[in-house]
Homo-oligomer: A and B are copies of this chain.
Amino acid sequence: LDARAMQEAEARQAQLTKPAGALGVLEETSVRLCGIQRTCPPRPLAKPVVAVFAADHGVHARGVTPWPQEVTASMIENFRAGGAAVNVLARQVGAEVYVVDMGVNADVAADDRVLDRKIRRGTSDLAAGPAMTRDEAAAGVFLGADVAQQLVAAGHDCLLTGDMGIANTTASAALIAALTGAEAADVTGRGTGIDDPTHAHKISIVKVVLERRPASEDPLETLASVGGFEHAGLVGFVLAAAAMGVPVVLDGLIAGAAALVVQAIAPGALDYCFAGHRSAEPGHRVALQHLGLRPLVDLDLRLGEGTGATLAFPLVEAAGATLREMATFDAAGVARK
């Protein structure tokens, strides 16, 4: 981040017509936006985009969710048609929506909004062995980075993360436990709203994964062992955004799990990330604490797709707008205390 732009932003916040600190979290947000863009006041975030990283998971066969795996592919058609929640919320804030097929277990037609980056038709069952090879994980990171570069080249100035994949909360829980040291029971939630027996079974599967996994300090190895193709893509997406100096708004649990991998690889990249929201999933709370990020929206969402990031985007933009547009005490002729 650019320290000089951030100092300018802090000094400017102190001159705006409001008590010092009265805009709360928006002030820190505005300062960091200046650091990311390397200028104060920050430029408007005029062309936001949501990238929905989609993939399937071999662990689905273990019965961790009652939803059929085919729903991943049908939801991609729903995204394409503009009928999913993230489409609705993105239209509200003027964001475009792209889907990135990282490894859906179905034939997905590619077009200008649905990008074919398929590594394989679903990961292997991570309760039985590594979800993917190390090469596949690395390929996923590169593919995700390439998507970020393509979107920024197309003029997008704020990247919002999204995700879709039946059983992806199981892989996310495993990743979060592996990277934070938390217990399976503390990070494994009800996902789509599973009942008590399925929840208990899901926790037992995550325990099996954590016992099966060889100890490793290598984040790419951990990603390959217990993650998903969409996590790999998201890791590259965030790393590339940071490298290009473009702000990222993270969505919920799946993004939080991927961000922990980013933190382990290059912690400075998190400076470019805003936590869009805190989901109802217990693992997301653990992830955000470990990441040191405060969520902007906290409304018990647990939908994924990028819905939390999209709802939060106007708050990030509003923070920047205060620095650009608010009057100073001197200009407005308002007395100070």
Q: For window 191-225 of chain A, which residues contact chain B by CB distance below 8 Å?
A: 191-193
Q: For this complex, into which size category does the number of interface residues on chain A fall?
A: 35 or more
Q: For window 62-112 of chain A, which residues contact chain B by CB distance below 8 Å?
A: 65-68, 70-71, 74-75, 77-78, 81, 83-85, 87-89, 91-93
Q: Known: A303-B19, A332-B74. Contact between A24 and B280, CB under 8 A?
A: yes
Q: Known: A317-B92, A334-B71, A337-B65. Contact between A322 and B19, CB under 8 A?
A: no
Q: Known: A89-B318, A315-B311, A337-B67. Contact between A25 and B83, CB under 8 A?
A: no
Please pick, from B17, B70, B321, the residue contacting A92 in the complex, using a CB distance under 8 A: B321
Contacts of A332 in B (CB 8 A): 74, 77-78, 81, 83-84
Whether B24 lies near A326 (C-beta < 8 A) is no
Whether A326 lies near B83 (C-beta < 8 A) is yes
How many angstroms from the CA of A185 to the CA of B83 in the assembled complex?
Answer: 50
CB proximity of A67 to chain B, nearest CB, Å: 4
The answer, yes or no, to whether A16 is at the interface (CB within 8 Å) is: yes
CB proximity of A121 to chain B, nearest CB, Å: 18
Contacts of A314 in B (CB 8 A): 92-93, 311, 314
Least CB separation from A305: chain B residue: B18
Whether B337 lies near A85 (C-beta < 8 A) is no
Q: Known: A26-B301, A74-B333. Contact between A81 and B19, CB under 8 A?
A: no
Least CB separation from A84: chain B residue: B17
CB proximity of A155 to chain B, nearest CB, Å: 21
This protein's copies in its complex? 2
How many angstroms from the CA of A20 to the CA of B280 in the assembled complex?
Answer: 13
Contacts of A300 in B (CB 8 A): 24-25
The answer, yes or no, to whether A331 is at the interface (CB within 8 Å) is: yes
Whether A299 lies near B325 (C-beta < 8 A) is no
CB proximity of A138 to chain B, nearest CB, Å: 33
The answer, yes or no, to whether A327 is at the interface (CB within 8 Å) is: yes
How many angstroms from the CA of A143 to the CA of B6 in the assembled complex?
Answer: 45
Contacts of A68 in B (CB 8 A): 335, 337
Whether B88 lies near A326 (C-beta < 8 A) is yes
Whether A19 lies near B315 (C-beta < 8 A) is no
12 contacts between A and B (CB under 8 A): A17-B78, A23-B301, A26-B299, A65-B337, A75-B334, A81-B327, A88-B318, A88-B326, A91-B325, A92-B321, A192-B337, A296-B299
